[in-house]
Chains A and B, each alone.
Chain A
C-alpha cells in the first residue's frame, strides 16, 4: 500500500477578510508526480506556504511525510521568489543550505554539474540570469537527496533546453521513487510530466484526476483546464 506524503485536510486560509483557500483537502502519495494547476492568484503559492508552515491556516490540518519531526529537512524546495542571498556566491548559497540540512559540502560540485552551473560557482547570485537562478534553485532543492520535492513555479524563466532538462529530471526522479509536488500554470508541461493533476481556482480545489483519466474524460488538458476555469 502506498503511503501518503502530503496530507491536507479542510484547509482554509483568509488574508484579512478574503478567503484565499477554501476548505481544501488533498492527498499526495509516495512516488507521485502531482501537478497543481491553477491560474494566477488562484491560491497555489498560498497552499505551498501553508504546507511549509510559513502561513498558519485558520482552519484545517497539514501533514508532511507522516508528521516526521524533521520533515522540513527532508524536503527539496523551489520557492516562487528564489530566496537566495543575492550578494553571495552560488557556492556559498548552497553551503548554507547544506549547513541547515546537515549535509556534507561534497555534494555541491555534483549538483552544480547537474544543472550546468559549474563554471559559475564563484559568481554572485545577483549576477546570474533568471534562468540560471532557476537552475540554481533546482540544484538547491536536490541537496540531501530529499524524498519529497515541492516546486512552486519551477519552469519560470527557463529556456527551451531548460524545459527539456526539467522533463528529464522529473522523469529521473520519478523513476527513483521520489514524490514531486509541482505548482504551475503551464498546461503542456503538466501533460508531459504529471501522474496526477489537481486544479485549484479561486481557492477551491475543483478537481483531481490521474493524467490518463483527463485524456479519457476531456481529451486534452486544455479542455480540462477551461472546463473549470472560465476564460
Chain B
C-alpha cells in the first residue's frame, strides 16, 4: 500500500468522534499553562521575542508530550478494542502499512502541537509584548523546533510501544499520567540531589529536557534517539509477534 493511501486512511480516522473530543481537551490543557506562563512573563517583564518564544514552547512541553502519548494510546487502542485492526489485516492491510500509518499520525500530531505553539506565540506575542511580525519571526529558534519535534515524536512512540505491547487502552490512559508524574518526582529527587538517580535516561525526562532545550545538545539528542529506537523496535515486535485472536 502506498504512502498516500495510508495517509488518506489515517486522515479519515483522525476525525472520529473520540479524537475530536480529544482535540478540545488538548486546547483546554494547552491554554492553561500558557496563561500561567504569560502571567510570569508580565511579572518578570520579559520583552525579548526569543525569550518569549522559549517561554511559550516550555509551557507546551509537559502537556504536549503527555497528550501526545495519550492520543496515540487512545486512537490506536480504539482500533484494537473494537476489532477494526483485525478486520483491516483480514482485508489486506499489512502490519507494516498499519505501523507506517501510526508513525505518520505521530508526525502529523507533532506538527499540529508545534503549529499551535507557533500560532499562540504569534497571537500572544503581538498582543502581549507588542513585537512586530519580523521581531516575532526572528524570535523563533529552528533548533528548538527540531528539539520539540523529536521530543514529541519520542512521546508518541512511547504511547505506540505501550499500546502495541499491552493492547489495553484503559490501562494506557491511566498509565501515562501516572508514569510522567512518577518521572517528575524522580527528576526532582535527582535535581535536588536527594537521591542519585540517572533520571536523564528516563523517557519522560529525556523528552522534556530536549523539548525545553533551545540549542543543539548532542547528548540529549542521542539519548532521545536511542530511546526512540528501543520503543520503535519493541512496538514493531508487539505487532508482529502477536497472534490476532478474536477480541
Contacts and interface: CB of A to CB of B under 8 A. Distances in A.
B12 A87 contact: no
A70 interface: yes
Contacts of B18: 87
Contacts of B89: 52-54
B35 interface: no
Interface centre among B1, B18, B87, B92 (most CB of A within 10 A): B87
Contacts of A101: 91-92
Given A96-B13, A124-B17, A54 B244 contact: yes
B244 A97 contact: no
A208 to B, nearest CB: 24
B243 interface: yes
A81 B17 contact: no
A40 B92 CA distance: 28
Contact of B12 (A45, A79, A86, A96): A96
Interface residues of B, number: 27
B12 A99 contact: yes
A79 B245 contact: no
B42 interface: no
A204 interface: no
A95 interface: yes
Contacts of B243: 54-56
Given A84-B82, A87-B16, A54 B92 contact: no
B73 to A, nearest CB: 16
Contacts of B127: none
Contacts of A120: none
A70 B86 contact: no
A45 to B, nearest CB: 6
A65 to B, nearest CB: 12
B170 interface: no
B108 interface: no
A122 B73 CA distance: 26
B93 interface: yes
A85 B17 CA distance: 10
Contacts of A86: 82
Interface in B136-150: none
A189 interface: no
B173 to A, nearest CB: 16
Given A55-B245, A92-B12, A77 B84 contact: no
Contacts of B84: 83-85
B16 A52 contact: no
Given A55-B243, A88-B17, A77 B90 contact: yes
B194 interface: no
Nearest to B244: A54
Given A54-B244, A55-B243, A100 B17 contact: no
A92 B8 CA distance: 12
Given A79-B86, A102-B5, A45 B13 contact: no
A171 B9 CA distance: 34
B178 to A, nearest CB: 26
Contacts of A52: 89-90
A72 interface: yes
Nearest to B9: A99
A92 B14 CA distance: 11
A55 B242 CA distance: 9
A75 interface: yes
A88 B245 CA distance: 24
Interface string A60-96: 0000000000101101010111111111100010011
Interface in B65-109: 78-79, 82-84, 86-93
Interface of B: 1, 5, 8-9, 12-13, 16-18, 78-79, 82-84, 86-93, 243-247
13 contacts: A49-B244, A49-B245, A54-B244, A55-B243, A73-B92, A77-B91, A79-B87, A80-B246, A81-B86, A82-B83, A83-B82, A92-B12, A97-B91
Interface of A: 15, 45, 49, 52-56, 70, 72-73, 75, 77, 79-88, 92, 95-97, 99-102, 124
Question: 4 shortest A-B CB distances, which residue pairs?
Answer: A83-B87, A72-B92, A87-B17, A83-B83
